[in-house]
Amino acid sequence: MNKYLHKFTYINIRHKFELFDKLLLPILNYGCEVWGFHPDKAVERLHVQFCKQILHVEKNTQNAFVYSELGRMPLQNTR
């Protein structure tokens, strides 16, 4: 998805997150009824990396700052 987002530079942040929520989240949360509240670190890491890439910040930026700046929440809350 990132490969295609770099080609279309005119897409705003809200639309990028809509694409993420509609294309990737169903795949990432597949079977969440079974594993429920288990804090899957790999899924959360992918979400945070995408958010940091959108903001163009470094990898060592605090996750709480990234979430609050974008108005997002950890995926475990939605599961």
pLDDT for the residue 76: 77
The rounded distance, in Å, linking the Cα atoms of 72 and 70 is 5
Q: What pTM value is reported for the model?
A: 0.75
The rounded distance, in Å, linking the Cα atoms of 24 and 54 is 15
pLDDT for the residue 58: 93
pLDDT mean by block of 10 residues, the chain; 79 residues = 71 86 82 67 86 91 91 79
